[in-house]
A and B are shown apart, each in its own frame.
Chain A
Amino acid sequence: MGLLSAFRQGFKGGIHPHYSKITSRFKIEKAKIPSKVILPLSQHIGVPCSPIVKVGDIVKAGQEIANSDAFVSAPIHASISGTIKAIEDFPHPVSGEMTRSIIIESDGKDEKIETKSRDWKSMSPEDIKRYIRDAGVVGLGGAAFPTHVKLSPPEDKHIDTIMINGAECEPYITADHRLMLEKPDQLIEGVRILQKVLNVKTAYIGIEDNKMDAIRLLKKKLKDQNEHSIHVKTVPAKYPQGAEKTLIYAILKKKVPAGGLPMDIGVEVQNVGTTIAIYEAVAHSKPLYEKVMTITGKVNTPKNLMVRMGTMITDLIEQVDGYNGTPKKLINGGPMMGFALPTDELPVVKGTSSLVIFNQNDIHERVPIECIRCGKCLEVCPMHLNPALIAKYAEKDRIEQSKEMCAMDCFECGACSFICPSQIPLVHWIRYAKAQIKKEASVKK
């Protein structure tokens, strides 16, 4: 293995930020049940749900409280037991807009709906997908795309490989790492469910080589269970290894066509957390009302917490014994791709990932100067683009040219901004170009 790893090559490009994975040895703790939760009616990509409860109703944890008839949507479940206190507008942590939300006040009992074990092996793929939808499972990597939709590829796409993304290449974050260590059986069982739904034999679990304990554990489990269709693959630790396209390339040496999706080359990628949620939804009828979050950075006791949806970030900060020093920046997600939240008075939703807190010392004031044409951004770009040029075009509003330079292929990993010695916010300019291109396209329509 050691010898082989010397020849292992990931994608071309990429960067090596300081990983600062402080919490990688900390067990997942159950967060305290909050006194109230705020559950926005739109926690996924797709049609927002409508409430099916009214103010004053008494609900149990896991009870469905909002749903929608649309296919691209996922129901929302109560995450604590208690009374529906209000249904009103509240700022959404991901979209930033005022969103209709259900507010539940806890009764302190944390009663749960009855869950039952189900034999998924005898179910049809359609049934499994229905259970997944009923449990409100969405992609927990941050995009929050409804999982049952992702598991229903168009008929002309033939899926032959399942890829579980355990790369977790973002600095600081350890939620998936801990899940792989603490729930390996659930993960493997989840992969088997995916294999059944998509009728696929081969599955890979891609893990970065800075998480050798997880790699060893999963390999041992698979060997003990005599499982030959699921393979654990070690991929080099570098950012952004966990992006779908780079992970697929590292493991299968296949390139997803530019502008395409993994399913174009027959690959279905699922996140570790999502796969475990699928298992719990299908085999134990447990709805998605809690998720693992790493709360780290400048807090007194960084932790991996199992958090109920709708918990206020302020409540979570209390559970990590408060901020260490004066917090300056609150990042939802990792420091590379995550976005800064303006306030901590926001609820956790399915689409929020971990929280990283920065002090003044962690914040680097960036004063952009001219491009010195060092070419570093071209070297690190995992999509082999020319970020310097695209950014320059975007700055001059020459959107057509930035489109010709394939600005749309950028998935905004931020490696170019990270490396730029002139401190130019390259990825931000590319985002601007992409937004303008999309705007023009929609005008043309």
Chain B
Amino acid sequence: MAEDYDIDKKEPGQAKPVQREKPKFLVEPSPHVFATFNKTKVMWLLIIAMLPAAALGVFNFGLHALYIILTGIVSAVITEMIFLAIRKRNFKPIIHGSAVTTGLLIGLILPPTVPLWIPALGSFVALALAKHAFGGPGNTIFNPALVGRAFLVAAFPAMMSRYIWPATNTTSIGIDAITSASPLSMLSNSGYDATITFMGGKLQAYSSLLIGNISGCIGETSALALLIGGLALLMFRIIDWRIPVYYIGTVFMLSALFGQDPIFHILSGGLFIGAFFMATGYEGIPLTKSGRVIFGIGCGVIVITIRLWAGLPEGVNYSILLMNAATPFIERVTAIKPFGFVKSKRSNKEK
């Protein structure tokens, strides 16, 4: 049906009418009906899905956590506007909500004790370095929020590991607040038995990890809140099930294989926020289905490697960044076969 508009004219949507005079009706290439699904909806649904975790974080760690999240969002939006202005683009991407998503994510993956300039700086680095330096929306290779956090961890390691337990009186957060290690760093420093004992037995430990009654980053302590958001995203088919399932599944299997407590491993260290909200973060993940399976498994393997043998207690952050880097390669090796492709090769040989 290429006859009714000029194919040489490259701009789609600007079809040339059949007659040279002004056409009576609108002439556009097919299709003429569309799904009501668009990027803005996707991004705002992502944000809504993160709200349970954010709300629980604020409930657990107090108002300072809310300020951290808000600072992250505001800084992300301002940075996005600055760079859009510098690059002479319109401000529409703000409405699309991707800067808000990044800012919110940054807020969620920071410890609740950090001063407010930390989320501001994190969001700035995320958007400036990981997003706009690479060419803005659509060209991002690394998940911006994770780059922001990786930068903060590298630059301010002490501040970025100052966690508190939710029981701490959160109104008095300051230098005097009682800081404590996250369950995973406790695991790597004092061993499994000591950690479980500290958390009050196995069952108590699991339920604490589920409802977020532990020390950790603002939004990643409660596996349950993240799971609710993640399942909602899966239900609305916003994210591909393959990445979270294979990611969490790999971590579970490998930790069991190496004699660790698999449930403890999948519930802690922000694995759920990583698997549902960051590894699925559209940009930087393979387009192909089999590529996404590989991506998920790869993330899982890296997490376990880092947690068990490397110097860092967690690893979700770097696992996703490393797999982001591997995405173009994964995509190339998992190039999909068109319908009827294999058969055509065979029949050619027969000839």
Contacts and interface: CB of A to CB of B under 8 A. Distances in A.
B10 to A, nearest CB: 7
Given A18-B33, A91-B19, A431-B2, A329 B288 contact: no
Contact of B3 (A94, A386, A418): A94
**Interface residues of A: mostly helix, strand, loop or mixed?**
loop
A255 interface: yes
Interface in A247-273: 249, 255-260, 264
Contacts of B18: 91, 96-97, 341-343
Interface string B19-55: 1000111111111111101110110000000000000
Given A17-B33, A255-B340, A386-B336, A340 B27 contact: yes
Contacts of A385: 336, 338
Given A342-B25, A414-B30, A409 B339 contact: yes
B200 interface: no
Contact of B13 (A339, A366, A369): A366
A331 B137 CA distance: 34
Contact of A375 (B34, B284, B292): B292
Given A257-B347, A431-B7, A432-B7, A343 B30 contact: no
Contacts of A373: 282-285, 287
A370 interface: yes
B349 interface: no
A423 interface: yes
Interface string A317-334: 000000000011111010
Nearest to B25: A330
B24 A336 contact: no
B38 A421 contact: yes
Contacts of B96: 369
A383 B12 contact: no
B337 interface: yes
A435 interface: yes
A336 B32 contact: yes
A53 interface: no
Given A343-B23, A370-B137, A421-B39, A336 B31 contact: yes
A425 B28 CA distance: 11
A163 to B, nearest CB: 16
B218 to A, nearest CB: 26
A422 interface: yes
A156 to B, nearest CB: 10
Contact of B34 (A339, A341, A409, A417): A417
Contact of B39 (A258, A328, A372, A432): A372
A341 B200 CA distance: 73
A217 interface: no
Contacts of A422: 38-39, 138
B58 to A, nearest CB: 29
Interface in A320-374: 327-331, 333, 335-345, 356, 358, 362-364, 366, 369-374
Interface in B275-295: 282-285, 287-289, 292
A197 interface: no
Contacts of B92: 369
B344 interface: yes
Contact of A419 (B37, B41, B347): B37
A97 B6 CA distance: 12
Contacts of B287: 373, 375, 378, 386, 388-389
Given A409-B339, A414-B30, A414-B31, A342 B17 contact: yes
A442 interface: no
A374 B282 contact: yes
Contact of A386 (B13, B17, B288, B344): B288
A264 B287 CA distance: 31
A256 B282 contact: no
A83 to B, nearest CB: 28
A370 B41 CA distance: 15
Contacts of A371: 138
Contacts of B335: 386, 405
Contact of A340 (B26, B93, B337, B344): B26
A434 B1 CA distance: 12
Interface residues of B, number: 56
Contacts of A412: 1, 30
Given A336-B33, A429-B12, A432-B10, A257 B340 contact: yes
Nearest to A411: B339
Contact of B25 (A95, A245, A329, A383): A329
Contacts of B136: 370
A427 interface: yes
Interface in B237-268: 240
Nearest to A376: B37
B27 A258 contact: no
A337 B34 contact: no
B197 interface: no
A388 B287 CA distance: 9
A428 B13 contact: yes
Interface string B211-244: 0000000000000000000000000000010000
A95 B34 CA distance: 25
Contact of A372 (B7, B15, B42, B347): B42
Given A95-B3, A258-B344, A369-B137, A409 B24 contact: no
B88 interface: no
Interface in B84-111: 92-93, 96
A384 interface: yes
B32 A358 contact: yes
B139 interface: yes
B4 interface: yes
B309 interface: no
Nearest to A96: B18
A272 B122 CA distance: 63
B339 to A, nearest CB: 5
Interface string A123-154: 00000000000000000000000000000000
B29 A428 contact: yes
B165 to A, nearest CB: 38
Contacts of A242: none
A406 interface: yes
Contacts of B35: 15, 17, 418-419, 421
A345 B282 CA distance: 47
21 contacts: A91-B18, A91-B19, A96-B3, A249-B339, A255-B340, A256-B339, A256-B340, A264-B347, A327-B25, A329-B25, A341-B27, A342-B19, A343-B18, A372-B283, A374-B42, A384-B337, A409-B338, A414-B31, A421-B42, A422-B38, A425-B12
Interface of B: 1-4, 7, 10, 12-13, 15, 17-19, 23-35, 37-39, 41-42, 92-93, 96, 136-139, 240, 282-285, 287-289, 292, 335-341, 343-344, 347
